[in-house]
Structure 1
Amino acid sequence: MENKMREVLIDKVVVNMGVGESGIRLNNAERVLEEITGQKPVRTISKRTRQPFGIKKGESIGCKVTLRKDRAERFLKDALSILNNMISDYQFDETGSFSFGIEEHTDFPGMEYDPDIGIFGMDISVSLRRRGYRVSKRRKNRKKIPKRHRVTREDAMEFLRSKFGVTIVEWE
């Protein structure tokens, strides 16, 4: 019997749509993101003014959704199937997290192209953890997670291979 504390779990999946402007286009992006994920998105605001792009500090320029538990797993399964269950090894970091992008929201099942809305791409970031990570987040008696208990890059790759049947492509 394997130790349950060593099991790798999905902590959260963050889906981000950077539109670059507020207004109708941002409202359309929010509607699309809510339809895909089944959850209401929150707006992301710009941190500084970028005059060449016409962006002011504090202006809403995108939206994001954080998915957890079963919803995160279902969404991740759909998103990975769009990529034909293939991810490059350079998309993983040393802490076991990985990110990838989807160019068109119309690739998701049930989504069709609407000329009034347009096409939106999205960035997906997945954070993995093991049981017991709450020790580093709680208010009282907070402790550090030992190095041997942290999720490594290799652990994350093995988790994707076994759980979702993903092929990891080596990058030269």
Structure 2
Amino acid sequence: MSEMQKPFVAKVVVHMGVGEAGERLVNAENIMADLTKGSKPIRSYAKNTLPAFGVRRGQPLGCKVTLRGEKAVTFLQTALKCYVVENVLHARQFDATGNFGFGIEEHTDFPGQAYDPKIGIYGMDIIAVIEKKGTRTARRKIQQKKLNSKLHVTREESMAFVTESFGIEVE
């Protein structure tokens, strides 16, 4: 397999949905900055108004961080150790384009995190985007081209990459 054909972790997106603004959201942002080693979280806002849940359009509901490069790989390794039971991920966690995601119920599962009754427990969703080198040609502004079919990451390639890189079995 050539260097262009090898998949890699393009980015990891970590999202915490709190459901309300205020102190809980600030606590979530502080926890996320701590977990991601200083990356600054940005807020995510409600797209629609849902009166049944007391949510208004434009109201801050959560926060997220996008990690790239070595920082993304290191965070993903730590998160997989916290999430994976018996070293197994399920095939349904992978989509058709090779990305995969999982959720962690408690931030206290991460090393160095302790339970604080004043803060509470926060869960998070983690999405890993797997790409091959050269996919930027489809996203760039100047001389944008269609992506060659060899550069698309399939579900099977992504599963093989996760097994090979992180030592995790995919069922």
**Both structures adopt the same fold (TM-score exceeding 0.5):** yes
Over residues 36-71 of structure 1, what are the superposed CA-to-partner deviations in whole Å (9 max), with x where a residue is unaligned? 012110000000111111111101000000000000
Aligned 8 A contact 1:86 1:167 in 2:
yes
Aligned counterpart, 2:159: 157
TM-superposed CA distance for 1:148, in Å, is 2.4
SS in structure 1 opposite 2:33?
A: helix
Aligned 8 A contact 1:80 1:86 in 2:
no
Over residues 102-140 of structure 1, what are the superposed CA-to-partner deviations in whole Å (9 max), with x where a residue is unaligned? 000000000000001000000001111101011111111
Aligned 8 A contact 1:11 1:69 in 2:
yes
Instruction: Find 2:126's aligned residue among 113, 121, 124.
Output: 124
CA RMSD of aligned residues (A): 0.8
Aligned counterpart, 2:19: 20
Q: Give the AA of the match of 1:158.
A: A
Aligned 8 A contact 1:95 1:151 in 2:
yes
Aligned counterpart, 2:31: 32
Structure 1 unaligned spans of 5+: none
Count of residue pairs brought into register by the alignment: 168
TM-superposed CA distance for 1:146, in Å, is 1.7
In 2, Cα distance between the equivalents of 1:148 and 1:70? 25
Aligned counterpart, 2:56: 56
Give the stretch that moved more between structures: 140-149 or 74-83: 140-149
Aligned counterpart, 1:6: 5
Q: Give the AA of the match of 1:18.
A: G
In 1, Cα distance between the equivalents of 2:18 and 2:51? 16
Structure 2 unaligned spans of 5+: none
TM-superposed CA distance for 1:152, in Å, is 0.3
Over residues 144-164 of structure 1, what are the superposed CA-to-partner deviations in whole Å (9 max), with x where a residue is unaligned? 112222000000000000000
